[in-house]
Amino acid sequence: MNPLPSGACAQCGKVTTKRCVGCNNGPDYVAGDASDIFYCSKPCQAQHRTAHGSYCIRMITRKEVVRAGRILKSAFLTYKAVFYEHDILKIGLEKDVLTLHLPPLRLDGRRLKGSWGPFPGKIPCNITEREAALCFKQCNAAVALLGPLSRKLLSGTGWDITLMNGQLKNPVFRPRLSGGNPDPPVVWHAAIRARHSESQEEFIIDPTGAQYGISRPCMPFSQYQANYRGVWLPDRPYDQHERTDLNLILDKPSCTEIAHLQHKDPSPMFDLRVEMCARAHFADFISNRKGLNRTMLDNTDAGFEKEMNAFISDLRNHLNGFDW
């Protein structure tokens, strides 16, 4: 077992292993600007509160947005693991291209298997490949589905969230379905910008960045830009709800054409209806779940992990109860 980290008490200098719980393990905004603060006793901590207060609050607010990003990504991956639309046989990553291999087509152009169901559990893949497959072409769906949850989690935290649409010029890899070409080197993407009203620090929450090899769901905006070279359109208000992107699809004339073709192949409109119902099922859980707020984000490290795991477990059970 590794020994506990130790440091000098910020008030008296005595070496101790006790740290400020509020800002413990706070994330960097600029490399190296976050460090744990040690106190040997409660009296020393109380005497140092005035000097430490603003730093501690800044670390707490950073932890809030990073934790919110983790919850949002985990919630979306949980949703897609239950409601998945591709019959993947295997996943292959070669150089900078990740390929999702599908079954062969029948003579009529349709797949041998149907679509919509749980993500295939027997596919040999690592976490990076699995998350990329779950997030494939899902950025617009994710920011819509997660809109209500995002606002619940960050309400009252001082984090203002807006919707970002743009291009990534430097993804880690590019995904594709077998038989098709990978995305071009510059790919369209959607994410959430979080800007704190007091510190003016900016983070990007990216629930589906895994499709491009971006594993961290939340990081400082400047770091994200340096790594992945995003070129963004002007931000828009983040007022999405779980069906925003689907409503846009339904408003297109092509959906009328699909409706007229139901006697030939009912699957396109059927799949759309299934997803509308599935998203409503997800939204119902989020709407009725208690505790999805700042209190959850401000918990101790151990307390937060326990609450997040319980939330994801309960969400999974709820989604698995969907009436197909």
What mean pLDDT do residues 103-109 have?
A: 58
Predicted local distance difference test score (pLDDT) of residue 282: 98
What mean pLDDT do residues 194-216 have?
A: 98
Is the pLDDT at 82 greater than 70? The verdict is: yes
313 or 116: which leads in pLDDT? 313
What mean pLDDT do residues 207-230 have?
A: 98
Predicted local distance difference test score (pLDDT) of residue 58: 96
Predicted local distance difference test score (pLDDT) of residue 265: 44
**Measuring CA to CA, how many Å separate 255 from each of 25, 250, 270?**
49, 6, 12
What mean pLDDT do residues 4-13 have?
A: 94
What is the pTM assigned to this prediction?
0.91
DSSP-derived 3-state class of residue 83? coil
pLDDT-derived band at 264 (thresholds 50, 70, 90) equals very low
* C-alpha to C-alpha distance for 38 and 241, rounded to whole angstroms: 43
Predicted local distance difference test score (pLDDT) of residue 104: 76
User: Closest by alpha carbon to 37, among 53, 29, 173?
Assistant: 53
pLDDT-derived band at 112 (thresholds 50, 70, 90) equals very low
Predicted local distance difference test score (pLDDT) of residue 4: 85
Residue 164 tokens, joined = 């970002």
Residue 313 backbone phi and psi in degrees, to 5: -65, -45
Predicted local distance difference test score (pLDDT) of residue 115: 62
Q: Residues 271-293: pLDDT tens digits?
A: 788 899 999 999 999 999 999 99
* C-alpha to C-alpha distance for 66 and 62, rounded to whole angstroms: 6
Is the torsion defined by CA of 140, 152, 282, 77 positive or negative? positive
* C-alpha to C-alpha distance for 301 and 295, rounded to whole angstroms: 13
Q: Which amino acid is at 292?
A: L
Is the pLDDT at 107 greater than 50? The verdict is: no
Task: Round to the nearest angstrom and report the end-to-end CA distance of the chain.
Answer: 48
Residue 128 near residue 215 (C-beta atoms within 8 A) = yes
Q: Residues 297-317: pLDDT tens digits?
A: 999 999 999 999 999 999 999
Residue 271 near residue 198 (C-beta atoms within 8 A) = no
* C-alpha to C-alpha distance for 62 and 127, rounded to whole angstroms: 26
